[in-house]
Structures are given as structure tokens and as C-alpha cells.
Amino acid sequence: MMTRLKQWWKKQTLNEKLMYVLVAALAIGIATRWRFVFGEAADAFRHIFTR
């Protein structure tokens, strides 16, 4: 299984590899700061509708 993963990774272009790394970093960032992100989004929507 690991050799198939290594072969697949080597076939990817640099742009694809960077995209996967960026998606993983964003997912980890959102998962670890979810409460803050959710609070900011809620405040933004609340501000729009309470004018």
C-alpha cells in the first residue's frame, strides 16, 4: 500500500503537490480554530442583519 502511495505521489506535478499541502494546512487550521472562525462568521452575519 505504501509503495502505491509513493508511486502516486511521484506522478503528481508540483502544482498538485502544493495544492494538496495547502488544502491539508487549511483544513487543519480551520479544525483547530473552528470556534473562533464560527464566532467571527456569526458576528459578521449578525452585523449584516441588525442594521
Per-residue pLDDT averaged across 27-46, rounded? 86
How far are the Cα atoms of 36, 39, 40, 42, 44 from residue 48, in angstroms, in the given order? Answer: 19, 14, 13, 10, 6
Percent of the chain with pLDDT strictly greater than 70: 98
How high does pLDDT run on average in the chain? Answer: 89
Per-residue pLDDT averaged across 12-36, rounded? 91
Q: Which long-range contacts (CB under 8 A, 24 or more apart) does 40-48 make?
A: none
d(CA 29, CA 7): 28
Per-residue pLDDT averaged across 4-28, rounded? 94
Global model pTM greater than 0.75: no
Residue 33, SS3 per DSSP? coil
d(CA 22, CA 51): 37
